[in-house]
Structure 1
Amino acid sequence: MTGDTEGDLQRVRSWARWRDKLRERPAANFTYRIVVGVVGAVVLFVGILAIPYPGPGWAIVFIGLAILASEFAWARHALRFTRERYDRVMDWFKAQGMWVQVLGVVFTCAVVLATLWLFGALSWSANLVGIEWPWLKSPIGLGS
Structure 2
Amino acid sequence: MVVAEDGQAGAGESAPPGWRDRVRARRGGHLALRVVIGVIGCVMIVGGLIMVPFPGPGWLVVFAGLAVLATEFPWASRLLELAKRAVLAATDWLRRQNWFVRVVASLLTLACAAAIVWVTLKLTMGIDLVQMARAFVP
Q: Same fold (TM over 0.5)?
A: yes
Pairwise CA distance, 1:124: 4.8
Matched, 1:74 2:75: yes
Q: Quick one: which amino acid aligns to residue 132 of structure 2?
A: W
Q: CA deviation at 1:76?
A: 0.9
Task: Provide the secondary structure at the position in 2 that maps to 1:71.
Answer: coil
**Unpaired segments ≥5 residues, structure 2:** 10-14
Greater share of residues in helix? 1
Measure the CA separation in 2 of the matches of 1:134 and 1:94: 35
Distance 2:89 2:111 in 1: 24
User: Residues 135 and 30 (structure 1 numbering): CA distance in 2 closer, same or farther, change over 3 Å?
Assistant: farther
Structure 1 stretch displaced more, 72-81 or 45-54: 45-54
Looking at structure 1, the residues matched to 53 and 126 of structure 2 have their Cα atoms a distance apart, in angstroms, of: 20
Aligned to 1:61: 62
In structure 1, stretches of 5+ residues that fail to align are 127-131, 137-144
Paired AA for residue 77 in structure 2? R
Match of 2:119 in 1: 118
- 1:74–1:20 distance in 2 versus 1, CA, 3 Å: same
Q: Give the percent of matched residue pairs that are identical in Structure 1 and Structure 2.
A: 33
- Number of the residue aligned with 1:141: none
Q: Give distance in 2, aligned partners of 1:21 and 1:123.
A: 51
Q: After TM superposition, give the deviation of residue 49 of structure 1 in Å.
A: 3.5
Paired residues of 2:118 and 2:128 also in contact (CA < 8 A): no
Find the residue that maps to 2:72 and give its secondary structure. coil
| Deviations, residues 120-143 of structure 1 (Å, cap 9, x unaligned) | 2797597xxxxx73979xxxxxxx
Measured after TM superposition, the shift of residue 80 of structure 1 is: 1.0
1:102 counterpart residue number:
103
User: Contact 1:52 / 1:108 at 8 angstroms: preserved in 2?
Assistant: no
Q: Is the 8 A contact 2:48 2:62 kept in 1?
A: yes
* Higher Cα radius of gyration: 2
User: Given the superposition, is the C-alpha separation of residues 96 and 52 from structure 1 closer, same or farther in structure 2, using an over 3 Å criterion?
Assistant: farther
- Aligned residues: CA RMSD: 3.2
